[in-house]
Structure 1
Amino acid sequence: MKETAVICMLMFILCSFSFGESAASNNNIVRIIVKGTDNTRKDLIISVMSLKEKGEYLEQKATADFKKIFALGYFSDVELAKDIDPEGLEIIVTVKEKPMIDDIVYNGIKEVGKGDLEEETGFRKGDPYDLAMLKKAVEKILAKYKEKGYLLAIIDYEIKEEEKGDKVKIIFNINEGRHMYISKIKFAGLKNFTESTLKSKMETSEAAFLVSGNLDYEMLERDFQKIAVYCKSEGFFFANVSSHKITFDEAKEKIYLEIAVEEGDQYRCSDVKFTYNNDKIYKEEELRAAFTLKKGDVFNYETFQRDLDKIRYMYSEKGYIETEVSGDTYPDKEKKTIETTIKIKESGVFFIDKIRVEGNYKTKDYVVLRELKIKEGEMFDSAKIRKSLENVYNLGFFEEVTPGLLSVLDKPDRREIVLTVKERQTGQLQLGANYSSSDGLTGTLSVSENNFLGQGQRISLSWEFGASKQAYELSFYEPWLFGSPVSSGVSLYNTLKASYTDYKDKRIGGNLKFGFPVSDDTRLWLTYKYEQVNIYDVSSTATDLIRSVSGISDISSLTTQWVQDTRDSIFFNTKKGYRISASMEFAGGLLFGTTNFTKYILDTSTYYSISGDLVLALRGSTGYTTGFGSTPNVPFYEKFFVGGTDTVRGYGERALSPQDSTGTAVGGNFMAMGNVELRFPIFSPIFGTMFFDAGKSWNHVTDFDAANIPTSVGLGLRIMLGGAIMIRIDYGYGFDPLATKGGQIHFNMGNIF
């Protein structure tokens, strides 16, 4: 009996095992079959599936695969089925393909190119046809025409199927209409503002030279907000754009825009109150002193918001980075006043846990981290963080530098700083032409890398060639020598200038320089230069002054330069800060060489942001040189030359310098010069400038006459190319008899200062 029971149990176990093995094998996928494809590769479908041959079948994966196959966009119907095979499961994928686009026709296009429309629609020959995508394409084409100024464009479409139904031809029928532009912008309801003032606050504008006058509805809505904000900044607290009306002329070409503004009454500030919890951080008198808006002032809403930001910044400088600062306003409509209450809810002090850099695929982390004024473990200081961001941006390696804060697990008073950067192209191979008023037309071939091997080093090789100039230069710059903040650089050059009337000037030499940090914004530079100067091909009509220095002479000099630079950007878009440079060059004497002189130069520039990208830039420069020993007279080529493209515009090159009896500029021992520029955006990437220049060089300091310094005024354009190159075009008109009659146009690269 027991034997029978044991045998039955063994048989049951064996049957159970066999059944389980069979079930397991039936759940394995032995093959995947795809049906219904004529234009779509079967392996594409299989590649997106989670179910794989020899893998296990799961319903969750099958559901996900259905969605993935459908998401390919090639099919109007998808079915997944399974068939039991003696060896396992067979997965059958049956699809119904959408018709393929065989041809796309754009009828009626004249002003917008076919390539632009194809880019907008995203349709290409061979793509699957989808009605929903087609309707979106029509919307995109309409948007493109509106962007180009064709507001009344009409678009419809036709679909022509082939007999088999597997291919379609899409025909867009486009009636472009006439190009429309804003002819007139008028305002209604104005009492305290002029139309020209409000127009200047808008991006939308009337058509004019270099201004399209296109109507963009989204831009117009933003302009309404700008108008309201501006009116509020003038104390009209309840001002708003109440309505607007758009009409066209009969020809459907001109657009007339009328904007109704409700100004309301002007309000003044009656009182500013503060509520806070911790007076050990700041006393009320300190907060009140930082607040620009005072009792009795016209209530400027923009100033009010900036003052709130200023208070937040003050707290973040001391580590209270999550302090909440809000401002409540209480208008009194009878008295036309506004009382404000500034509510401050202090946070705790926060410390820096870790600092990470992200997005730097080429630049080494340490190249970024060494520029920071903040360190791990320190208390947060927003002033140091701002300066750190400026330092990183001024490396020139990044288009964007964005800081972020992350909480740290189990450390509530600590935050991790993440600097996310977007790298820009730092290596350049340039072959082009350049025209300057001094050297004429020259060709340029240069190879440079401003972030060599991602280590922040700069290396460049350049060749400039033309009828009047040949120049070669090889340079290398190391910003952190041996891991210290001492910078160093070396350059070798060979330059020939043949643009002068009476002689040619050839120079071969090099320099070695070191920069030592004095403070965050100040650096001391020491530069040794050795240069061989050859003045040759001196004409028979040249004066004795030029003849006296003909032949080869050697210059061995050491320059000490003190530079303080607080500019927010060292590139073309400087908006605030200043730069002061004072240098002394000593040549000859104990340094040997055949030329002895000392040269002193003081150069200052200051920048003020008036509003947004409107910047006032000021520059003053003066210099003095004198010889000693065997060369008491400084060679003319080491003197100061003023006039022309980079000094005082509206005059010929070197025209404001002392001249010899033949009219050749021979330079002065003393120079004074000043420039004023008002820089403003026109439309990206073009900026404009209005300028005033003054300056001259003299033989002696005693010849200086402030009342008779030549001056000029003018206009200029700055054209940015690729974010790294600026073309400068200036027209200057001088008021001195030495000025070019009718003014002069100047061309060069980069800002004048």
Structure 2
Amino acid sequence: MTKPSSAPARWPALLFLLIGLALLQGCSLLQRPSSAPHDAPSSITSEAGPDSGPDAFALDVQVEDDTLREYLTRHLELQRFRQLPDLQAHELTRLLGSADANARDLLATQGYFSPEITIELREQATDADAPPRTVLVSVSPGPRTHIASADITLMGEDGHGADATELARRQARLQRGWSLPPGEPFTQQGWDSAKNQGLRDLQARRYPTARIASSRAEVDADRAEAKLQVAYAPGPAYRFGTLQIQGGERYDNEGMRRIARLPTGEDYSEARLLDTQQRLASSGYYDAVFLTLDTEHGDPQSAPVIAQVRDAPLQKMVFGVGISTDSGPRLSMDHTHNRLPGLGWRAVSKVAVDNKRKLLSTDWTGLPHANGWRWFTGLQLQREATGSYDVDSSRLRAGRTKSTDRIDRSYFLQHDTAKNRGEDAPPSSSAISANYGWTGRYFNNNTNPTRGWGLAAELGVGTTLRPERDPFVRTLLRWQSFVGLGRVDLGNNVRRGSRLSLRLEGGAVLARDGADIPVTQLFLTGGDTTVRGYGYRSIGARTDADKLFGGRYMAVGSAEWQRPITVRGNRTDFESALFIDAGAVADTPGDLTARVGVGAGLRWQSPVGPLQADLAYGLHTHQVRLHLRLGYTF
């Protein structure tokens, strides 16, 4: 058995990690020059060289509101000419003539329609390095205009037979979700954003050709009120037709349609269209996929979806180098054949070597049938450090599987062999079993979830083949949930939720006491994704010789508090985490003794997926361990 390294040996790696994360965080927090809002004129400042002399004038904006002062100072047209040292007096006078209107336009975009503005030009006796003049802009903005009412209308179009009930429902939904309700301050940016958001909501479901028919903002400057009116023309309601694949020549289009699972006949949904595109893109058969709804031809109630694709190579080989805190450095080679001769199945073969495991495997998968089920088979040969022993094992399985948007199901036959190596090693054994697996994922994002839950269950019934025949039943249950704990204000109108991540896992192998179950069917736990603070698969049962080995019963639980990190009010891509993990493995339920780990960590939303770095302390081993993990799977 490889003993976990002591705490001091981990500190150099930890220091290196924290320094790296700090540098990445620092880069993400560098201040960028703020750009002008889309409703304000751009401010172009000429860069004066060191020998170009003083500015033509200084600009001094005086207004009580600091936000307005910064806004006007940044976006007044006068800024474009301030750093021209050869600006003549008559040219500056002409510019001042238009400055009043420019300032009023800028203030109107912020909801101030009755300001009092005074502009003065002051000559000043200064040294040669200071501007000879100062333009003083004094502003009393007056009352800010607020929204008095917002009237949102959906117009049915002649000839399309729009469903009045559905339009009324969507109109009420738009009204409820309107981002500029009565009482809110009026701004041009907010008005434009509210209109466009309403349009996007319409186009995202049923009405992809929706447009803004008319919009109007009636401003009563005397009463500082604005009445908003916007009318949307939703156009015809669309339903998905057939998927038409264009550009693909190498692979069976009908099989690709079954992988895509376009919901033909259902109401158009942008989210469902993107899900279909993602399934095709992640299938491995295409290098590029782009889906569009054809709104120019055919019946809107059966609109075709065009898939522009580029075939992936028939074969591909990938070499990999990695490192894990569980198993150390890793070398791997993956070979993919997308269409096996004679079968047309997809084969993915892999060779991987690290400190704990040597693996050779191949998995073959057929294209889905019309009912969504597909055949698969796989062979795995492995040598792995399992508890106190090295185990040479093989696994052969064959069956059928089906994947939907939320649920994966499979049933298969499996043959296992395990040859245990080492002093006083348990007898080698083999078994055959029939298995069923079910996984439901109800997360908001399967690769980086922050809300929702997942549940997975496995059930196997089989018999050992040697050294004796003994029937057994194997069960495994996993559950993961994210519980919201409120919102954290990150500044700049950005809010992100903190959450509690809860995880449970339990398994059992039921057989007579003397049955020799292959260790590949037994349980070990501990490591990056189970019980942090302990080595990889270092929590198990004990043999008669007091050696660590797989156990028949397992229980694992974890609770983790995840919270976004802010730096001086700036949004970051980092989160902090505090956690407690516990796990136990034994041959009888009464012998289950929890091994507990506690710690803290960082989460970074990197471009290649969520990166997790945790520092955990094992209460049983009294050791500190560093755990790194890239990506999330359930």
Q: Same fold (TM over 0.5)?
A: yes
| 407 and 642 in structure 1: CA distance in 2 versus 1, 3 angstrom threshold | closer
Checking the alignment, whether the CA contact within 8 Å between 1:641 and 1:697 is kept in structure 2 is: no
| 296 and 588 in structure 1: CA distance in 2 versus 1, 3 angstrom threshold | farther
Alignment of 1:315-354 (within 5 A): 317-318=205-206, 321-322=209-210, 324=212, 328-329=216-217, 339-350=227-238
| 344 and 474 in structure 1: CA distance in 2 versus 1, 3 angstrom threshold | same
Q: State the match for 2:74 in structure 1.
A: 243
Q: State the match for 2:553 in structure 1.
A: 669
Checking the alignment, whether the CA contact within 8 Å between 1:276 and 1:346 is kept in structure 2 is: yes
RMSD: 5.4
Aligned-partner Cα distance in 1 for 2:302–2:357: 60
| 356 and 633 in structure 1: CA distance in 2 versus 1, 3 angstrom threshold | closer
Q: State the match for 1:30 in structure 2.
A: none
Aligned-partner Cα distance in 1 for 2:28–2:320: 35
Q: State the match for 2:428 in structure 1.
A: 552
Secondary structure of the residue aligned to 2:534 is coil
Q: State the match for 1:644 in structure 2.
A: 527
1:746 to 616, 620, 627: 627
Q: TM-score, normalised by structure 1?
A: 0.53
Aligned-partner Cα distance in 2 for 1:429–1:619: 38
Aligned-partner Cα distance in 2 for 1:467–1:630: 33
Alignment of 1:491-570 (within 5 A): 491-498=378-385, 500=387, 502-516=388-402, 520-539=405-424, 550-565=426-441
- In structure 2, give the amino acid aligned to 1:493: Q
**Structure 1 residue 715 corresponds to structure 2 residue 602:** yes
Checking the alignment, whether the CA contact within 8 Å between 2:212 and 2:230 is kept in structure 1 is: no
- In structure 2, give the amino acid aligned to 1:524: R
2:153 to 250, 275, 282: 275
Secondary structure of the residue aligned to 2:477 is strand
Cα offset, 1:655, TM superposition: 4.9
Cα offset, 1:221, TM superposition: 5.8
Aligned-partner Cα distance in 1 for 2:72–2:531: 47
Aligned-partner Cα distance in 1 for 2:480–2:428: 34
Larger radius of gyration: 1
**Structure 1 residue 469 corresponds to structure 2 residue 335:** no
Secondary structure of the residue aligned to 2:525 is coil
**Structure 1 residue 695 corresponds to structure 2 residue 587:** no
Cα offset, 1:647, TM superposition: 1.8
Cα offset, 1:564, TM superposition: 2.6
- In structure 1, give the amino acid aligned to 2:558: G
- In structure 2, give the amino acid aligned to 1:464: A
Checking the alignment, whether the CA contact within 8 Å between 1:555 and 1:588 is kept in structure 2 is: yes
Aligned-partner Cα distance in 1 for 2:311–2:481: 29
- In structure 1, give the amino acid aligned to 2:151: K
Aligned-partner Cα distance in 2 for 1:215–1:737: 37
Aligned-partner Cα distance in 2 for 1:655–1:355: 50
Cα deviation code 1:300-339 (max 9, x no counterpart): 9779947864665457644674454776555677877665
Q: TM-score, normalised by structure 2?
A: 0.61
Secondary structure of the residue aligned to 1:402 is strand
Aligned-partner Cα distance in 1 for 2:495–2:460: 40
Q: State the match for 1:420 in structure 2.
A: 308
Query: Between the two proteins, what is the percent identity of the paired residues?
Result: 11
Q: State the match for 1:287 in structure 2.
A: 171
Q: State the match for 1:10 in structure 2.
A: none
Q: State the match for 1:40 in structure 2.
A: none
- In structure 2, give the amino acid aligned to 1:604: Q
Cα offset, 1:237, TM superposition: 12
Q: State the match for 1:161 in structure 2.
A: none
| 640 and 355 in structure 1: CA distance in 2 versus 1, 3 angstrom threshold | closer
Secondary structure of the residue aligned to 2:166 is coil
| 373 and 634 in structure 1: CA distance in 2 versus 1, 3 angstrom threshold | closer
| 347 and 227 in structure 1: CA distance in 2 versus 1, 3 angstrom threshold | closer
Checking the alignment, whether the CA contact within 8 Å between 1:463 and 1:473 is kept in structure 2 is: yes
Alignment of 1:18-33 (within 5 A): none
Cα offset, 1:496, TM superposition: 0.9
Secondary structure of the residue aligned to 1:443 is strand
Checking the alignment, whether the CA contact within 8 Å between 2:431 and 2:464 is kept in structure 1 is: no
Q: State the match for 1:403 in structure 2.
A: 291
Q: State the match for 2:90 in structure 1.
A: none
Checking the alignment, whether the CA contact within 8 Å between 1:562 and 1:581 is kept in structure 2 is: yes
Cα offset, 1:491, TM superposition: 0.8
Question: How many equivalent residue pairs?
Answer: 500
Cα deviation code 1:652-681 (max 9, x no counterpart): 22455566795846557131333656799x
| 357 and 311 in structure 1: CA distance in 2 versus 1, 3 angstrom threshold | same
Cα offset, 1:486, TM superposition: 0.6
Checking the alignment, whether the CA contact within 8 Å between 1:428 and 1:449 is kept in structure 2 is: yes
Aligned-partner Cα distance in 2 for 1:751–1:299: 42
Checking the alignment, whether the CA contact within 8 Å between 1:597 and 1:634 is kept in structure 2 is: no
Cα deviation code 1:483-504 (max 9, x no counterpart): 541122111111111474x322
Alignment of 1:25-174 (within 5 A): none
Cα offset, 1:476, TM superposition: 0.7
Alignment of 1:358-437 (within 5 A): 358-360=246-248, 362-374=250-262, 380=268, 382=270, 384-398=272-286, 401-406=289-294, 416-421=304-309, 427-437=315-325
Aligned-partner Cα distance in 1 for 2:154–2:527: 59
Checking the alignment, whether the CA contact within 8 Å between 2:314 and 2:339 is kept in structure 1 is: yes
| 459 and 573 in structure 1: CA distance in 2 versus 1, 3 angstrom threshold | farther
**Structure 1 residue 448 corresponds to structure 2 residue 350:** no
For structure 2, list consecutive stretches of 5 or more residues without a partner in the other structure: 1-21, 42-66, 81-105, 112-143, 157-162, 489-493, 566-571
Cα deviation code 1:193-224 (max 9, x no counterpart): xxxxxxxxxxxxxxx8347979999x746586
Cα deviation code 1:670-718 (max 9, x no counterpart): 31333656799xxxxx986644443322346678899x95332212568
Checking the alignment, whether the CA contact within 8 Å between 1:510 and 1:530 is kept in structure 2 is: yes
- In structure 2, give the amino acid aligned to 1:744: R
Checking the alignment, whether the CA contact within 8 Å between 2:386 and 2:549 is kept in structure 1 is: no
Cα offset, 1:640, TM superposition: 3.7
Cα deviation code 1:337-357 (max 9, x no counterpart): 665434122423456676433
Cα deviation code 1:237-270 (max 9, x no counterpart): 9995752899xxxxxxxxxxxxxx9996888655
| 277 and 664 in structure 1: CA distance in 2 versus 1, 3 angstrom threshold | same
Secondary structure of the residue aligned to 2:276 is helix
Checking the alignment, whether the CA contact within 8 Å between 2:393 and 2:520 is kept in structure 1 is: no
Aligned-partner Cα distance in 1 for 2:295–2:219: 40
**Structure 1 residue 599 corresponds to structure 2 residue 475:** yes
Query: Once structures 1 and 2 are overlaid, which stretch shifts more, 358-367 or 583-592?
Result: 583-592
Q: State the match for 1:209 in structure 2.
A: 23
Aligned-partner Cα distance in 2 for 1:304–1:242: 23
Aligned-partner Cα distance in 2 for 1:329–1:237: 22
Cα offset, 1:439, TM superposition: 3.1
